[in-house]
Amino acid sequence: MRKPFLSLLAVFLFSTAFAQENAIKNPYKKKPAFGFAFTLHDFKTAQDLKNSSLSQVLKDNQWYKTNRKSPGLALTYFQGLSNHFDFMGRLGGTFTDYPLANKPQGGNDKLLAELDANINAKMLSDRYWVSPYLTAGIGGSQWNGNWGAYVPLGAGIQVNLLDQTYINFNAQYRVAVTTATTTNHLFYSIGVAGSLFEKKEPKVIPPPPPPADTDNDGIVDSLDACPDVAGLAQFQGCPDTDGDGIPDKDDKCPNVRGLERYNGCPIPDTDGDGINDEEDKCLNTPGIAKYQGCPIPDTDGDGVNDEEDKCPALPGPASNQGCPEVKEEVKKRVDVAAKNVYFATSSFKLLAKSFKSLDEVAKILNEDPNLKLDVEGHTDNTGIAEKNQTLSEQRAQSVVDYLTTKGGVDPTRLVSAGFGQDRPIADNKTAAGRAQNRRVDLILHYN
């Protein structure tokens, strides 16, 4: 049964080595401390718990009485493992009549010697003056030649009195491992412990001076391509003022965002028309976006651009909206022909004496395929206005039909319209005036 004591010694040596190794990592780790404690062993309450229940024990109200407990003394040792874990070793003794299993008590008190090793798990580090903890470990005992082992389980409170001085309150339930020579029992202790060693401050090795960084951009001079100007790591410490991804040292336009293929400058606009050269079809002539940087076209070259030219394919003066003007002699020939167009009374049927004049008009149109003709029909105010309107439209259409079928004129070049009695050119109160109002107007144009 001496093996438990060897195990305790091994735990103690390992804990001490582990504690020294972690000293720097855990600034609030406890220094080695020695102390003593007053102890109480309670075998009777543990037996009552085994024979009945916790509620019955509390009800009997005997558990706290001191005459049920055996007082003793113990030497204690504490060693920090980390900020929150301590090793606690205890060597204690008490005179008691130890209740061995299946053996009657002799009535004589003899020395019970105990040695245990525990790990205290603290809720708070030694930075705080009070720290509750849980404890668990392994222990060995000797009484009247009987060696045994037990497992202490419990809780406690540590109070920091002074620097490296502690009061410790501890309560345990000790579970028997060697049941023939040990017995489950309750254990209480209160003690004080203090460090016998001066607190040594860890040796602080001053850090090496930081490498030079002249421009304070976080990139050391040895790696900085622009050591005197603050810059970006991605450009080896050189700046990119315009944020176009090209460092200033390689950027021909450092204050204007640009493209790498233009050495950091924006796409040029040679003619200054607001359309960059990559999209401008007329690099040296100002234009507009609608025509990809070219000016508005003038197809017929008459000086009137196509957007304002009513005849973009025919040259003409601006005064006539870019269309050519109809020659005066041609106008006169058509005006004469128009005065010689006749219809049957109240009818849209052309009279034969009109054909010569209309053939002349067809000839003029066929000689100049760019000419267009509007045919407008008019009546006097005799009769009903609605009928006059219809008659004027029919007469105008009769002229168009003749020019297309007999004269061979493209119908797309002809437009007919009737205006009834709404546009008189003479007084309808006289026969001569009414005769003038009954007419067909032929209007030549190019647009």
Position 83 in a domain: yes
Q: Measured in Å, how far apart are the chain's first and last C-alpha atoms? A: 127
Q: Report yes or no: 418 and 438 within 8 Å, Cβ to Cβ.
A: no
Encoding tokens for residue 218? 């976080």
Asked if residue 404 lies in contact with residue 358, where contact means CB atoms within 8 angstroms, the answer is no
- pTM of this structure: 0.43
Q: Are 316 and 304 in contact (CB under 8 A)?
A: yes
For residue 115, the domain's CATH number is: 2.40.160.20
What are the phi and psi torsion angles at 9 (to 5°)? -65, -40
Give the pLDDT confidence score for residue 199 in this predicted structure.
Answer: 56
Contact, 344 vs 351, CB < 8 A? yes
Question: Of 138, 167, 195, which residue is a domain's last?
Answer: 195
* CA quadruple 347, 353, 359, 361: dihedral sign: negative
Residue that finishes a domain, picked among 168, 195, 222 = 195
Would you state the pLDDT for residue 320? 87
In a domain, 140, yes or no: yes
Tell me the β-bridge partners of 80. 86
Give the per-residue pLDDT at 78: 92
pLDDT of residue 51: 82
Burial class (CB within 10 angstroms; exposed 0-12, middle 13-18, buried 19+) of 394 = middle
Distance CA 245, CA 42 (A): 81
416 in a structural domain: yes
pLDDT of 8: 47
Low-confidence stretches of the chain (pLDDT < 70) are 1-25, 106, 197-203
pLDDT at 280: 81
Query: What is the model's pLDDT at position 198?
Result: 60
Taking the CA atoms of 240, 242, 248 and 250 in sequence, report the sign of the dihedral they define.
positive
Does 362 reside within a domain? yes
Domain total for the chain? 2
Which of 137, 167, 195 terminates a domain? The answer is 195
* DSSP collapsed to 3 states, 237-290: CECCCCCCCCCHHHCCCCCCCCEHHHCCECCCCCCCCCCCCCCCCCCCCCCEHH
- Dihedral (Cα; 118, 119, 123, 124), 10-degree rounding: 100
The answer to whether position 212 is within a domain reads no
C-alpha distances out from residue 46 to 59, 64, 116, 187, 221, Å: 15, 12, 19, 10, 75
- The CA angle 264-269-270, to the nearest 5 degrees, is 115
Is 381 a member of any domain?
yes
Any idea what the CATH number is for the domain that residue 336 is in? 3.30.1330.60
pLDDT of residue 204: 76
pLDDT digits (tens, 9 = 90+) for 40-59: 988 888 888 888 887 887 78
Closest Cα to residue 44, out of 190, 183, 188? 183
What are the beta bridge partners of residue 116? Answer: 90, 139
249: its two tokens: 């040292």
76 within a domain of the structure (yes/no): yes
Q: Which residue has the tokens 């034969």?
A: 352
Q: Is residue 299 included in any domain, yes or no?
A: no
Residue with tokens 């421009």: 215
**Host domain of residue 37:** 3-195
Provide DSSP, 109-126. Answer: -EEEEEEEEEEEEESS-T
Chain mean pLDDT for the chain: 86
Helix (H) or strand (E) holding 49: helix 43-51
The 10 Å CB-count burial string (b at 16+, else e) for 97-127 is bbebeeeeeeeeeeebebbbbbbbebeebbe
